[in-house]
Amino acid sequence: MLSPLLLAAARSRRMRGLVTSMPLTRGVVDRFVAGEDLDAALGVVRGLGADGLKVTLDHLGEDTKDRGQAEATRDAYLELFAAFAEQGLAGGADASVKLSALGQALSGDLALDHARDICAAAGRVGMTVTLDMEDHTTVDSTLEILGKLRVDFPWVGVAIQAMLRRSEGDLRELVGDGSRVRLVKGAYAEPASVAYQSKHDVDRAYVRGLRTLMRGDGYPMVGSHDPRIIEIALALAAGRSPSSYEFQMLYGIRTAEQRRLAEAHQMRVYIPYGADWYGYFMRRLAERPANLVFFLRSFVSR
């Protein structure tokens, strides 16, 4: 019952102001967000790299309606790539990008143009880019932009949410040679008309999607913390080259399992950073009751 409320709160400006003003919130946020600036994120990247973990970085921000803010988000990614190259961290690294932060809701091709700038800069230093998928109203636009980007940057990846009813069809269109697809369950409040509502149905949809990806010629990225899903993914990947797929998990969640998987498989950690952490943080609370308990406990343990 709490998850829909938390997901709704993730889009509420009033709740944003309340939560971000709480003096105790920052310490809890640090569990899921690798700091508010690039230097903090780079420190996390170096530590994870020492343990054999790959990374994808997300400069936090979404739903911008301001052209200047969209440009600032693009520039933050350009700064990220320059820093990775300077510090020798670029090889095999990835950046995760929300098109809504690049001006997707604004008129014209602003988000596409910014995404092209980002992909060009990533390619120059040997990094890749993956487009995050947001709520169902943005899927068509995101896939359209993906197609245009792949003309010049065929390595651009995309996240697909298993909870959306349309995703099985989308996945069948995305299993071509080299196509990088991150399969996730989904973290947005969606109506029953477009999305499965029960955990059981979402899990079944995820496995169907995973089967499609593993049978295809693309590069599946298994975005899940669910032990059962990971077990199924390993079974479905039997016969594939270990370099032809990878696992992905979020920063701060199941860290011991991340390191265990990295011993024998490609394992990538999704690292969010930046000052605009509210929406991301609320979705993490909504995903697992244990995360919410951790948050609430912080207020009685000080």
Establish whether 132 is a catalytic residue: yes
Supply the DSSP symbol for 195.
Answer: B
Contact assessment for residue 33 and residue 281, using Cβ atoms and an 8 Å cutoff: yes
* Residue 64, both tokens: 């911008």
- Catalytic position from the list 58, 74, 94, 132: 132
* Residue 70, both tokens: 């969209």
Q: Cite the beta strand spans of the chain per DSSP E.
A: 54-59, 94-97, 128-131, 157-161, 180-184, 219-223, 246-250, 267-273
Q: Which residues pair with 222 in a beta bridge?
A: 183, 247
| 19 backbone dihedrals φ, ψ, rounded to 5° | -70, -45
Q: Which residues pair with 56 in a beta bridge?
A: 94, 270
Q: Which residues pair with 267 in a beta bridge?
A: 247
Q: Which residues pair with 30 in a beta bridge?
A: none
Where residue 88 falls (left for φ over 0; alpha for ψ -120 to 50; beta otherwise) is left
Other Cβ atoms closer than 10 A to 200: 9
Where b means 16+ CB within 10 Å and e means fewer, 98-129 reads bbbbbbbbeeeebbbebbbbbbebbbebebbb
Supply the DSSP symbol for 133.
Answer: P
* Residue 166, both tokens: 């349309």
| 60 backbone dihedrals φ, ψ, rounded to 5° | -65, 140
Establish whether 182 is a catalytic residue: yes
- Catalytic position from the list 150, 182, 283, 284: 182
The closest alpha carbon to 2, from 285, 299, 300, belongs to 285
Where b means 16+ CB within 10 Å and e means fewer, 133-169 reads bbbbebbebbbebbeebbeebebbbbbbbbbbbebee
Q: Which residues are catalytic?
A: 132, 182
